């Protein structure tokens, strides 16, 4: 079973794509390290002030996967100082 978390981020006062990458790369690395999820920037590559990240986990317990990804979403909302979380969505396949 696979579960994904889509996170739509707003990155205010970002002046270039290089600056955007500099702000989201540490977040992606921390999510991978702290929560053992795979993380990738999935959309809005050409927008300076927005990003869509996708976190994925595999396992055999749907409830555990959803709970783990809810924890990730709450952590990002509470601990990422470089921007705002506009939307999160968890899907299980």
In tens, the pLDDT along 29-66 reads: 999 999 999 999 998 878 888 999 999 999 999 999 99
Q: Quote the pLDDT of residue 72.
A: 95
> How much is the pTM?
0.88
Domain borders along the chain are: 2-92
Q: How far apart are CA 93 and CA 83, in angstroms?
A: 29
> 2-92 adopts what CATH topology?
Alpha-Beta Plaits (3.30.70)
Buried b (16+ CB within 10 A) or exposed e, 54-84: bbbbeeeeeeebbebbeebbeebeeebebbe
At 67 the three-state DSSP class reads: helix
- The 10s digit of each residue's pLDDT in 3-30 is 999 999 999 888 888 898 988 999 999 9
């Amino acid at each position: 079973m696979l579960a994904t978390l889509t996170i739509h981020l707003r990155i205010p006062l970002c002046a270039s794509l290089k600056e955007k990458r500099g702000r989201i790369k540490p977040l992606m690395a921390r999510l991978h390290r702290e929560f053992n999820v795979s993380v990738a920037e999935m959309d809005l590559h050409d927008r300076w002030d927005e990003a869509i990240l996708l976190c994925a986990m595999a396992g055999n317990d749907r409830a555990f996967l959803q709970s783990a990804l809810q924890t990730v979403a709450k952590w990002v909302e509470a601990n990422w100082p470089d921007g705002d979380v506009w939307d999160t969505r968890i899907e299980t396949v």
